[in-house]
Amino acid sequence: NAGVMQNPRHLVRRRGQEARLRCSPMKGHSHVYWYRQLPEEGLKFMVYLQKENIIDESGMPKERFSAEFPKEGPSILRIQQVVRGDSAAYFCASSSPGQGFFGELFFGEGSRLTVL
């Protein structure tokens, strides 16, 4: 089991471009979480998804950010018209549906977005 896979590991975009970050959860996991870590700050929750459903998007900025977790394929975090303030490390985590409330999250290595 390769663990949670995120790509790209590093992404450079110019202001106004789009950024797409992908996350493949661990085998057998159907819950995906996205977190953002800004410089000098902790991990901030963004969104919690299950296959084809957004469960909790309370941490997502209202504009430009969207996330999906389709029936097939990886989860995608999409940032449109990026600005310099979007520069951060974006972490994906997954968990097993059987673990419920007490579930351990398994993290990817993160995708570092730099906006020029």
Contact residues: other proteins, CB under 8 A:
3-4, 31, 33, 35, 41-45, 48, 55-56, 58, 91, 93, 100-109
Q: Which of 38, 62, 87 has the alpha carbon at shortest distance from 47?
A: 62
Q: Among residues 5 and 76, whose Cβ is nearest to other proteins?
A: 5
Q: Among residues 9 and 15, whose Cβ is nearest to other proteins?
A: 9
What letter represents residue 42's amino acid? G
Task: Name the DSSP letter for residue 103.
Answer: P
CB of 112 to other proteins, least distance (A): 14
Cα-based angle 14, 4, 81 (whole degrees, multiple of 5): 20
Nearest 5°: phi and psi at 77? -110, 120
CB of 107 to other proteins, least distance (A): 4
Q: Among residues 18 and 52, whose Cβ is nearest to other proteins?
A: 52
